[in-house]
Amino acid sequence: MNKILVLNSGSSSLKFQLFNIQSVGNNKHNSINCHLIASGLVEKIGDINSTAHLKLSDTPSGVKTRLNRPISNHKKAIETMEFLLKENNCLNTVEELVGVGHRVVHGGEDFYQPTLINDNVLETIQKLSPLAPLHNPANLTGINAIKQRAPKLPQVAVFDTAFHQSIPEHAYLYGLPYELYEQQKVRRYGFHGTSHHYVAKQAADYLGKALSELKIISLHLGNGTSAAAIEYGLSIDTSMGMTPLEGLVMGTRCGDIDPAISFYLAKETGLSLQALDQLLNKESGLKGICGQNDMRAIVERSNQGDIKAKLAIKIFCYRIKKYIGAYLAAMNGADVIIFTGGIGENSAEIREFSCQKLQNLGISIDSLKNNQRVTKQSDQSIMEIQSLTGQSKILVIPTNEELEIAVQAMKIIQKK
């Protein structure tokens, strides 16, 4: 019994990571040390063209095993995952597992920390489904499939929204009739909480300070993007809202827009609610502006002079800069700015453009330092890129949501 499984279950996919728990001391965070054994993905569940693959973490080439076979449901996906893990000597029996940590997207106001799953918890996650119709039901499918396979195995839900439950009322309420909050729970919840919390703790460790001493602006820039203001260890504001559509410009999501645009388009073009949803969530953001949502390709196009790609980058970075400004104001300054997520970790250009002309606010990037490469594997995985004149530290920190879920879940299982 020394392994923990982390699952991220989507409607037609199952992402999994298996960790060895290397040392478990008392209940403190630092006493739990998880080491990745293997990761994998089952895709197109319910389709005849399902695929599954497994990647071992300790082989230099990251040896991959791939299967192509119909996988009709999540129960079969779990069986396939178990087969792959056994075939590759990662897991001999389910008894080696101490538990399973699940990424659950929406915990509403009910969950403000990782929670051991029982029937009441399952019911509450189900009740919260209208707030995250694409995610919570899918997350539940993974939980139920494990429950069927190993009914006694402890399962822990780690919520994307939980870290942001410390946001005060004046920041989480919208300027809408108060009854909408009371009756329909319309408010800002925020997402990417596991990532923001993880990188904030990494920053504090790196700087040799307590998280409770620092004011941090965390920028998670991936396909989904969000900013968080973390004051003395607590999230006090974040850019995503009631749903992950609000805030920064994203790969395919629009971020902040005037809500009246929806009524205008419905009236003028006859777009249905469903079509508007599709437009704002899947056809907007970087993709809407320049036809592509892959930032690496957009930067390449921009470097070759493509005008739309340049514009997309400008819009993306200007929105980030505005949020940095807002959170500097909210916290009366920031000790640390963190860049994370696929774009934040890898794109020196985006980091530089997002911090342009902020030097009077104490934020200034050193170009040379910014252009170093950061790798998840190296010991020096955190990069410090502020210039000598910058007052705020600017750190590039690889996020690791699965590792954070494993650690958080272990803490709960230990207390059981």
Segment near ligand AMP (CB under 6 A); pick from 120-128, 267-275, 338-346, 390-398: 338-346
- What whole-number distance in Å separates Cα of residue 64 and Cα of residue 129? 35
Decide: 170 and 141 in contact? Cβ < 8 Å.
Answer: no
User: Which of residues 142, 190, 222, 244 is near ligand AMP by CB under 6 A?
Assistant: 222
Q: Is 377 exposed, middle or buried (0-12, 13-18, 19+ CB in 10 A)?
A: exposed
- Considering beta carbons, is residue 9 or 400 the nearer one to ligand AMP? 400
Strands 97-104 and 3-9: parallel
Q: Which one among 14, 37, 41, 343 touches ligand AMP, defined by CB under 6 A? A: 343
Q: Does 341 bind ligand AMP (CB under 6 A)?
A: yes
Stretch that binds ligand AMP, among 160-168, 197-205, 295-303, 353-361 (CB under 6 A): 295-303
Among 223, 281, 359, 381, binds ligand AMP (CB under 6 A): 223
**Please, what is the angle between helix 136-149 and helix 119-127, to 10°?**
160
Q: Which is nearer to ligand AMP, 161 or 346 (CB)?
A: 346
10 binds ligand AMP (CB under 6 A): no
Per the residue annotation, which of 58, 110, 119, 160 is the catalytic one? 160
Query: Quick one: which of 14, 38, 167, 299 contacts ligand AMP (CB under 6 A)?
Result: 299
Contact 217, 337 (CB under 8 A): yes
Residue 270, sorted as left (phi over 0), alpha (psi -120 to 50) or beta, turns out to be: left
Smallest gap, in angstroms, from Cβ of residue 299 to ligand AMP? Answer: 5
> Is 366 in the active site?
no
Cβ-proximal residues to 2 (8 Å cutoff; 6+ apart), any chain: 20, 21, 96, 98
138-177 binders of ligand AMP (CB under 6 A): none
The answer to the question of residue 193 lying near ligand AMP (CB under 6 A) is: no
For residue 331, the one-letter residue type is M
CA distances from residue 57 to 54, 99, 261, 344 in whole angstroms, order as listed: 10, 20, 47, 23
Q: Are 200 and 230 in contact (CB under 8 A)?
A: yes
Kindly identify the residues of this chain, within the stretch 345-404, that bind ligand AMP according to CB under 6 A.
346-347
Q: Give the separation between CA 143 and CA 158, rounded to whole angstroms.
A: 12
**Residue 399 Cβ, how far from ligand AMP at the closest point, in Å?**
7
Distance CA 78, CA 81 (A): 5
- Taking the C-alpha atoms of residue 256 and residue 251, their distance in angstroms, rounded to an integer, is 14
Least CB distance from residue 226 to ligand AMP, whole Å? 11
Q: Which of residues 241-280 bind ligand AMP (CB under 6 A)?
A: 251
Least distance in angstroms from the C-beta of 214 to ligand AMP = 23
CA–CA gap between residue 193 and residue 5 (Å, rounded): 20
Size of the site for ligand AMP (CB under 6 A): 12
Query: Applying CB under 6 A, does 113 fall inside the site for ligand AMP?
Result: no
Residues 77-96, mask of contacts with ligand AMP (x by CB under 6 A)? --------------------
Note the residues at the interface with ligand AMP (CB under 6 A): 222-223, 251, 294-296, 299, 341-343, 346-347
Catalytic machinery residues: 160
